[in-house]
């Protein structure tokens, strides 16, 4: 059980064993941003020479932490040694007072780590519109003991309405040298592309420059965190930060297109996609994990917009919650996506079962078999919308009464 209710039925059976990233130290504590007793503060120190890159929400409101990170990464050209994360207060829409509180909290954390504030990155998650009480952080820091990074504890410290901690890892080789990748994430509601109420921190011991990290992260983010949606709302605080400590010694790599990075790119993609899907598995009130595949679109961008429209339709999502293969709602969503399509080529499939083919109900549609399929916890929906080459994949979940309960009670 989580603090706020039962663990999602879609949760993994256990937290994975993640590869160690040499030189990472962390301390976890309780600043008191929640009424109940739970960790809500994480500080992390990385080795000298660590580089970092980030991708951030496109929500126009933004937040003090995302503003700081963008500026810090630009000023230091990706040179980063520390990270401060708090849960329970987003410090968004808080004006100059929020900016000042963010800076003071970073100065306190940097002092503990023996760093300068400009070497620190920061992330906050929680209630919007409340200025961060940085005094709580300053009071908590002295009792927090640095130790080699413990992944499960770190993942638990950054949770909000999450019901389970999220982690993923992978290994690969660059020039015959083993390279490790490991990361944690949080997210459960207010989840949509570009990005979501989610934070993710991914680390590798590879020696990669900040420009390479930025390129890889932006590209692989499109098929991971920018391909999930729980409720269609993207938050003010989202960020994914990728750190490279350089502890695994490999020959210098000049750019992100270097063929020696092929294995690393694939491993990074696996980690990001794994973390992203775990967020959907923990969608507030979710009982079904749904993968939506679209093909036949005029291009990939159009296919993604069609997939997103399907994934975010309340009528589609509630039908899935009711285990009803109401494919007419999917056709409706395709049509209202405002994307090019050919009606007489639209086809819809649930798993291997055809519901519609070429613009009409499938001649072999079987309600009994379809109803049995809909009882599964993990569903695949595939649609064809025309003769084009565009395709996309997105992940979503169902919409249940529990989602309303969680969000109706969020601040009470």
What six digits make up the tokens of 211?
A: 């420009």
Could you give the CA distance from residue 151 to residue 147 in angstroms, rounded to a whole number? Answer: 11
User: What SS3 state is found at 225?
Assistant: helix
User: What SS3 state is found at 218?
Assistant: helix
User: What SS3 state is found at 220?
Assistant: helix
User: In whole angstroms, how far apart are CA 252 and each of 247, 256, 329, 378, 386?
Assistant: 13, 12, 52, 43, 45
User: What SS3 state is found at 292?
Assistant: strand
Could you give the CA distance from residue 398 to residue 322 in angstroms, rounded to a whole number? Answer: 9
The answer to whether 294 and 392 are in contact (CB under 8 A) is yes
Q: Three-state SS string across 184-212, please?
A: EEEEEEEEECCEEEEEEEEEECCCCCHHH
DSSP labels, 28-71: EE----SSSS---EEEEE--TT-EEEEEE---SS--HHHHHHHH
User: In whole angstroms, how far apart are CA 315 and each of 77, 319, 399, 401?
Assistant: 46, 6, 9, 13
Annotation says 66 is catalytic:
no
Among 88, 72, 91, 55, which Cα is nearest to 200's? Answer: 55
Among 135, 134, 139, 57, which Cα is nearest to 94's? Answer: 134
How many residues belong to the chain?
Answer: 412
Please report how the helices 210-221 and 262-281 are oriented relative to each other, as an axis angle in degrees rounded to 10: 50
- Residue in 80, 94, 161, 197 annotated catalytic: 197
End-to-end CA distance of the chain: 20
The answer to whether 28 and 59 are in contact (CB under 8 A) is no
Please report how the helices 314-321 and 327-335 are oriented relative to each other, as an axis angle in degrees rounded to 10: 160
Kindly list the catalytic residues: 197
């Amino acid at each position: 059980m989580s603090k706020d209710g039962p663990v999602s039925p879609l949760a993994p059976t256990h937290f994975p064993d993640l590869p160690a990233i040499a030189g990472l130290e962390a301390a976890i504590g309780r600043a008191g941003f929640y009424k109940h007793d739970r960790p809500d503060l994480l500080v992390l120190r990385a080795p000298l020479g660590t580089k970092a890159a980030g991708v951030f929400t496109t929500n126009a409101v933004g937040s003090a932490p995302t503003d700081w990170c963008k500026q810090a990464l630009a000023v230091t050209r990706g040179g980063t040694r520390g990270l401060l994360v708090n849960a329970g207060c987003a410090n968004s829409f808080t004006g100059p007072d929020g900016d000042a509180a963010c800076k003071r909290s970073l100065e306190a954390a940097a002092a503990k780590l023996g760093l300068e504030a400009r070497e620190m990155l920061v992330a906050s998650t929680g209630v919007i519109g409340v200025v961060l009480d940085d005094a709580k952080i300053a009071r908590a820091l002295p009792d927090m003991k640095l130790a080699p990074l413990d992944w499960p504890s770190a993942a638990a410290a950054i949770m909000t309405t999450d019901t389970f901690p999220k982690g993923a890892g992978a290994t690969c080789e660059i020039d015959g040298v083993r390279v490790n990748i490991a990361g944690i994430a949080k997210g459960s509601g207010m989840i949509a592309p570009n990005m979501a109420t989610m934070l993710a921190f991914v680390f590798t011991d590879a020696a990669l420059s900040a420009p390479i990290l930025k390129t890889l992260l932006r590209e692989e983010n499109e098929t991971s965190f920018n391909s999930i949606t729980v409720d269609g709302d993207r938050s003010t605080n989202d960020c994914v930060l990728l750190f490279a400590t350089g502890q695994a010694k490999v020959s210098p790599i000049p750019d992100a297109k270097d063929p020696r990075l092929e294995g690393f790119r694939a491993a990074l993609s696996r980690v990001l996609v794994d973390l992203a899907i775990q967020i959907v598995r923990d969608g507030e009130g979710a009982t079904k994990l749904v993968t939506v595949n679209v093909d036949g679109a005029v291009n990939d961008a159009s296919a993604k917009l069609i997939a997103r429209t399907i994934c975010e339709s309340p009528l589609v999502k509630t039908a899935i919650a009711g285990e009803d293969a109401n494919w007419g709602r999917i056709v409706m969503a395709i049509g209202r996506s405002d994307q090019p399509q050919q009606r007489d080529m639209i086809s819809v499939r649930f798993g291997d079962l055809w519901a519609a083919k070429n613009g009409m109900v499938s001649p072999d549609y079987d309600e009994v078999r379809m109803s049995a399929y809909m009882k599964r916890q993990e569903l695949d929906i595939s649609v064809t919308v025309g003769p084009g080459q565009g395709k996309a994949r997105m992940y979503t979940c169902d919409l249940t009464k529990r989602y309303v309960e969680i969000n109706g009670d969020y601040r009470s």
